[in-house]
Structure 1
Amino acid sequence: MSAEPVERTADATEQAGWTASARSQTAAVVGLLDRPLTSYYLVLGCTMMLLGLGLTMVLSASSVSQLQKTGSAFTLVQKQAMWMALGLPAMWVAARLQVKAFRALAYPLLLLSAIALSMALIPGLGREAGGATRWIDFGFVQLQPSEPAKLALVLWGADLLARKEKLKLLTDWRQLLVPLLPATGVLVLLVMFGSDLGTTLVLLTIFLALLWVIGAPGRLFLGMSGLICLLVAILIVVEPYRMRRLTGFLDPSGDPLGDRYQGMQGLYAVATGGWFGTGLGESRAKWDYLPHAETDFIFAIIGEELGLIGTLVVLGLFGLLAYAGLRIARRVKDPFMRLAASGATAWLVVQAIVNIGAVIGVLPITGIPLPLVSYGGSALIPTLIALGMLLAFAKREPGARQALAARGPGPASRALSWLGLARR
């Protein structure tokens, strides 16, 4: 007997072993994704990792400018840590609320958001930044009311459509749009009076996501999408600084020291990072080359200091967050939870795409922050509350309650028990 058939048999056996191993590993990964608490841990894990990365990068991106302005490199990171200290307990509370509590908060939050957006337009009270009147200046603190308006629209729109679906009213296309479209229009108009196109895009994305999930007819959805595209085009044309941004984006040969300056500096920063980056804290762009490095363009500093690997990690985390949010929306039974989870996921993911797209030069600059990473408490706290809401919904997926009960008490409960303060 020749050695060649024996070698072929050995190769075939080895190949079969590799195939079986790959199949078993794939089955193990699929098994992990099918567990009841997968969504819960994905949302929690991605949130914590993005928060940690964001706090680190805010310190790195703002250290030079804050040292020049205030004499301390830690001014903004201390403020961001304070906002996190307020936002994380709010997220913890939201993760423990009942679904009816979110529905009860929807209408008051929408009304308060509309009032706050109106207050931002009052001369002397509203403050302009980057060409847009986005802030309410209370003296000791400045708030951006358009951020909680996103959460308000998610909750109110989901509650409205869920009630109509329960009453079987959504067979008429007019019931799909009234009063959802007028209310969204009021928020959009108030935001646009403050010249904030980025937030307008996010609000309109939430509106379209709610229509898509509730099952709006294709013609209606396409018609609304076309109308929104036309509206956005008009808003760009009528505002000179937006038109300059758009023409600067479309014309690579434009003035590199004018309207294209920020975008080009962001691209230079990302390109400088290479595969592994220049090292944490070693950015050159933050030395007064890149405007708004700690807010709108923090992704550029990540690309420069942590390289392609760092940017892929950020993209992966947002991808996992999107998967978890859509998984929650698909697995929960309650229509309100399905709509609210979809709306919140669309808000966070589209905002991240628009921010990152502007940094890498594939989308025009709109001035919206990168969720959980960019500096800013007005954006951070509503985002954490929305993620807490997703955690609350994840605990209501099939089998999740049983899995949580089998897991036993968490660290907080064990600590309270040790102190004699836990419920008996």
Structure 2
Amino acid sequence: MLLDRLTGQMSMAERSVNPATRRSGRWLTHLLRLDSGDSSSHLLAQPFLDYYVILASTVLLCGIGVLMGLSSSSVYSQSLGYGPYHFAFRQALFLVIGAIGAVVVSRLSEAHLRKLGGIAYAAVCLMLVLVLTALGSDAGKGNQSWLSVGSVSLQPSEFAKFALVLIGASYMSSRREEMATWKGVGYYLGLYAVVGLFVMVQGDLGTTMIIGLIMLAQMWNFGVPKRYLGLLIGLGLVAVLMFVAITPYRAQRVVSFFHPDNGATTSQQPLSAIYALATGGWWGVGIGASRQKWGGLYDGAQNDFVFAVIGEEMGLLGTLGVIVLFVLLIWAGVRTAMRHDSLFRRSAASAAVAWIAAQALINMSVSLNLLPVVGVPLPFISIGGSALVSELLAVGVLLACARTEPDARRASIQRTEPSRVTSVVDGGTRV
């Protein structure tokens, strides 16, 4: 009886459809298997499918990241006087830290995730302020975005994405009615504006853009009126254009994008990325055998243009494999966001998957010369400890949401139900 009542309540909760789901149409509902049909044998109807797809695709992407870290960073590492695997070993250490963090986050309850969001947001704001003091540095990258204490450096703006995913979802879910008004939307935008302004002052346009896209995805999934979204998109485009116009080297990147043969230094890496992809052909030149990492790509081989190195060393099949893994991860993340009956988890999952999808799409587009150089890492693959740890924490959020989907909860209850029945039959003695 208890099981029937619980599953009945869950079924009623599932009927409250997400506004984004209503917008998506029947074709997307069928593709994502959002309806709880009767064909329980169907692969898409498996209760923990999203959880395992997210987990498996992330593990494989991280594996590729370790492999490419060993290859892509070796030349640049030696040019700085380190051993060939200096950056790769550091990345492996951050991978372990991030994996532990992802496991912990994936097991947290909704209440604890809300608290974590508030704590992370406060910590990030403090670190962003400290970056503007003597503790801040550019780490040789041009933007003062790093917080350095001794030999340890981290990039607070990367962790800001994780904090905003949680605190944004917490605010939205606790003020549902207010989000239909300018006042409610204004307070929500304030959470993002505080962080976004700090990041923009540091000169990190790429991270600022990702933060904006996370915010828009979260608002769209929540069902914020389209007029608000349209206005924000317009203002965001104007802000980006102004930021590019007043920054000479960013303006030069745009010029080089439209005129790659102008001979400017800003054209060198994008052209080298195209050469790398063309050289790779179908099968690639072999792991570790990239030529462009020796000169043309140089310091971009292990982060901004790592996708080009993948194409050169692993060929077209290697790049397609990476794309397929990202598509699977994003597909499962979108399913999780649209199937969940918790407004908080739905908002958090939508923001996390938008973050990963936006970064992957922008990074690969830059390597393919479809966008000007922005400076956005490829999730799980580009060298960068702060980025990797924060991305794995985002995966932890997705896993926490996927394991508590209505079907997954119902399956978990059914697994434990037989032991409860046995206890009653044995006269209350636990077995």
TM-score calculated relative to the size of structure 1:
0.85
Distance (Å, rounded) in 2 between the aligned partners of 1:212 and 1:240: 34
Report how far residue 388 of structure 1 moved.
1.0
Distance (Å, rounded) in 1 between the aligned partners of 2:67 and 2:327: 21
Secondary structure at the aligned position of 1:136 is classed as strand
Report how far residue 87 of structure 1 moved.
1.1
The residue aligned with 2:17 is none
Give the one of 272, 292, 312 matched to 1:304: 312
Secondary structure at the aligned position of 1:132 is classed as coil
Distance (Å, rounded) in 1 between the aligned partners of 2:180 and 2:254: 40
User: Which residue identity is paired with 1:385?
Assistant: L
Distance (Å, rounded) in 1 between the aligned partners of 2:260 and 2:40: 44
User: Which residue identity is paired with 2:330?
Assistant: A
The residue aligned with 1:4 is none
Distance 1:398 1:128, change over 3 A: same
Report how far residue 232 of structure 1 moved.
0.7
The yes-or-no answer on 1:278 pairing with 2:289 is: no
Give the one of 354, 357, 370 matched to 1:349: 357
Distance (Å, rounded) in 2 between the aligned partners of 1:311 and 1:40: 24
Distance 1:172 1:289, change over 3 A: closer
Distance 1:29 1:403, change over 3 A: closer
Give the one of 313, 321, 334 matched to 2:321: 313
Report how far residue 217 of structure 1 moved.
1.4
The residue aligned with 1:38 is 49
User: Which residue identity is paired with 2:62?
Assistant: L
Distance (Å, rounded) in 2 between the aligned partners of 1:339 and 1:72: 43
Count how many residue pairs are aligned between Structure 1 and Structure 2: 379
The residue aligned with 2:370 is 362
Report how far residue 128 of structure 1 moved.
4.8
Distance 1:287 1:136, change over 3 A: same
Secondary structure at the aligned position of 2:290 is classed as coil
Larger Rg: 1
The residue aligned with 1:14 is none
Secondary structure at the aligned position of 2:147 is classed as strand
Alignment of 1:85-234 (within 5 A): 85-123=96-134, 125-165=136-176, 168-175=177-184, 177-234=185-242
Secondary structure at the aligned position of 2:294 is classed as coil
Distance (Å, rounded) in 1 between the aligned partners of 2:367 and 2:149: 32
Secondary structure at the aligned position of 1:137 is classed as strand
The residue aligned with 1:25 is none
Overall identity of the aligned pairs, in %:
39
Distance (Å, rounded) in 2 between the aligned partners of 1:190 and 1:203: 12
Report how far residue 212 of structure 1 moved.
0.6
Report how far residue 30 of structure 1 moved.
9.2
The residue aligned with 2:268 is 261
The CA deviation string for residues 182-214 of structure 1, in whole angstroms up to 9 with x for no partner, is 221121110011100000000100111121111
Distance (Å, rounded) in 2 between the aligned partners of 1:386 and 1:63: 28
User: Which residue identity is paired with 1:169?
Assistant: E
User: Which residue identity is paired with 1:158?
Assistant: A
Unaligned runs of 5+ in 1: 1-27, 409-423
Distance 1:269 1:286, change over 3 A: same
Report how far residue 402 of structure 1 moved.
4.8
Distance (Å, rounded) in 1 between the aligned partners of 2:372 and 2:243: 14
The CA deviation string for residues 329-388 of structure 1, in whole angstroms up to 9 with x for no partner, is 111101000000000110110011111111110011111110101111101111111101
Unaligned runs of 5+ in 2: 1-38, 417-430
Distance (Å, rounded) in 1 between the aligned partners of 2:284 and 2:250: 32
Distance (Å, rounded) in 2 between the aligned partners of 1:266 and 1:113: 34
Secondary structure at the aligned position of 2:146 is classed as strand
Question: Does structure 2 retain, via aligned residues, the 8 Å contact 1:127–1:137?
Answer: no
Distance 1:29 1:323, change over 3 A: farther
The residue aligned with 2:244 is 236
Report how far residue 124 of structure 1 moved.
5.1
Report how far residue 406 of structure 1 moved.
7.2
